[in-house]
Structure 1
Amino acid sequence: MTENPIRTERRGHVLEVTLDRPKANAIDLQTSRIMGEVFTGFRDDPELRVAIITGAGQKFFCPGWDLKAAAGGDAVDGDYGKGGFGGLQEMRALNKPVIAAVNGIACGGGLELMLSADIILAADHAQFALPEIRSGTVADAASVKLPKRIPYHIAMEMLFTGRWIDAEEAARWGMVNRLLPADRLLDEARALADHLASGPPLVFAAIKEIVREAEDMKFQDAMNRITRSQFETVETLYRSEDQKEGARAFAEKRDPVWKGR
């Protein structure tokens, strides 16, 4: 295993996380636990507002589970650490934007990791697949998420057959936000992250909690929870200095200065 499988860089309010495990950026149990600690730190650091997750090199974003490590004794149902596989899939109360910059192949658990982000930018040579069916196992997180993100029949075809799709098809079905030349991918992801980091963090937190909690609710049930003050992030927003600052800035015709409190 690479001594430091995860590289991180702080740029102001942005945390850049790079999965760096040659040759393919596969994730074993130890790497997953490290990623869980990284994203827990991101979640809990009030100075950090946006994260970027990407892979080293230009061939692989992440192929998912490290089968060589599994053959060496890593159990597929072992301890993935905080946030589950890759530190993102089950991270509780992660109310900050996460951008995936998909620099190459994203398959299996790597595609599931990608789907854990809020916004997905992809290099135009990237490829995607869920090949678990060929090894007699299930892409569990993708089985939950993918049919809700792209047309049901396309998601089921990918799950049932394991077929590969290219970046253009992924964009056509709405699996990614947009495609970029490889040499522009990180620059565009950083520009987007900086734009988000300049925005109102308490509003982003409220958006993420509402979207997450309301996913399986009826519309009126979700609205009732908001009006009854049952979303913590919404209540924090409505009682915040930032809420007053937004109104003042609008009245004074100037850009607001967000403090996240």
Structure 2
Amino acid sequence: MTSAVRLTADKNTGVAVVTLDRPDRLNAVDLTMRDQLREVWREVRFDDSVRAVVLTGAGERAFCTGLDRDAVVPQPSSPYMADDPLLRVGPKSNDLWKPVIAAVRGMACGGAFYLLGESDFLVADTTATFFDPHTTYGMVSAYESVLMALRMPYGEVARMMLMGTAERISAQRAHDIGLVSELTAPGEALAAATSRAAVIAGHPPEGVQGTVRALWAAREQAIAAGFAQAPHLIALGNLPGERQAELFTARRPAFRTR
């Protein structure tokens, strides 16, 4: 089976790089990638030689464009038992408390926010753009909105989620509002993130991991409360799948970047 996720580790620095490796699909997450990500987080969790992680996407066009449109996700008939395929795709939801730095190049949208929302901070190059297509295609942005509402000012995340595909946040704007902590020249985000990870990996891991856990503790109650509402909001607000597909097929490429 072809690997959709690459894991490389530098035993000298203690830094592992996790790469989403479906560049021909803009690193969209299919069910194979989802399962492999969960396996990778578990592997990193038990490898004491890894003390910090960088998460990135292969290719120049995208970090990740969310759930692959071709992924078949069976759903129970009851709205009380909705199955979100990306809900356990990130490091924190897999009980990994080693620091994770996201290195973003190109597009990051939709389901990518499950991964960015569980990263500890973001480094992006100037080609990075951020947007959420859900509303354009008749879908509720629930889990993504909850995660991003804790990383961005409310008005900024509301605008991004509600504008859909009509507008993208530039790397500069993302840096200005605090979503991105460091901005680099094109193609340099991975090197910068790896350099920051190496510094963190050089600190005693007990203190680092305890700090990561404490930082997440400040957010997880709000996340849990938001996530509790998400299945019902999605069940009520999502258009039928065939109507979503029609809107997706009829999409227009025009958008503005701010």
User: Which residue of 2 is the match for residue 95 of structure 1?
Assistant: 97
Q: How does 1:102-181 map to 2 (within 5 A)?
A: 102-162=104-164, 163-181=167-185
8 A contact 2:113–2:147 mirrored in 1: no
1:214 aligns with 2:194: no
User: Which residue of 2 is the match for residue 188 of structure 1?
Assistant: 192
State the AA in 1 paired with 2:212: K
Instruction: Give CA deviations for 1:95-144 in whole Å, capped at 9, x if unaligned.
Output: 11001000110000113312211020001011100111112222332221
Superposition deviation, residue 89 in structure 1: 5.5
Q: How does 1:78-93 map to 2 (within 5 A)?
A: 80=85, 84-85=88-89, 87-88=90-91, 90-92=93-95
1:17 aligns with 2:18: yes
- Which of the pair has the greater relative contact order for Cα pairs under 8 Å at 6+ separation? 2
Q: Secondary structure at the match of 1:25?
A: coil
The structure 1 segments of at least 4 consecutive aligned residues displaced by more than 6 Å after TM superposition are: none
Q: Distance in 2 between matches of 1:159 and 1:67?
A: 19
User: Which residue of 1 is the match for residue 248 of structure 2?
Assistant: none
Q: How does 1:26-37 map to 2 (within 5 A)?
A: 26-37=28-39
Q: Count matched residues.
A: 210
1:216–1:106 Cα change, 3 Å: closer
Q: Of 42, 45, 48, which residue of structure 2 is paired with 1:46?
A: 48
User: Which residue of 2 is the match for residue 235 of structure 1?
Assistant: none
User: Which residue of 2 is the match for residue 5 of structure 1?
Assistant: 4
User: Which residue of 2 is the match for residue 243 of structure 1?
Assistant: none
8 A contact 1:102–1:114 mirrored in 2: no
State the AA in 2 paired with 1:91: N
Q: Distance in 1 between matches of 2:21 and 2:148?
A: 26
1:19–1:216 Cα change, 3 Å: closer
State the AA in 1 paired with 2:102: A
State the AA in 1 paired with 2:196: L
Unpaired segments of 5 or more residues in structure 1?
218-261
Q: Distance in 1 between matches of 2:169 and 2:114?
A: 15
State the AA in 1 paired with 2:93: E
State the AA in 1 paired with 2:94: M
Q: Secondary structure at the match of 1:3?
A: coil
Superposition deviation, residue 68 in structure 1: 2.0
User: Which residue of 2 is the match for residue 220 of structure 1?
Assistant: none
CA RMSD in angstroms comes to 2.1
State the AA in 1 paired with 2:101: I
Which has the higher Rg, Structure 1 or Structure 2? 1
Higher mean alpha-carbon deviation, 116-125 vs 204-213, is at: 204-213
User: Normalized against structure 1, the TM-score is what?
Assistant: 0.74
Superposition deviation, residue 79 in structure 1: 7.6
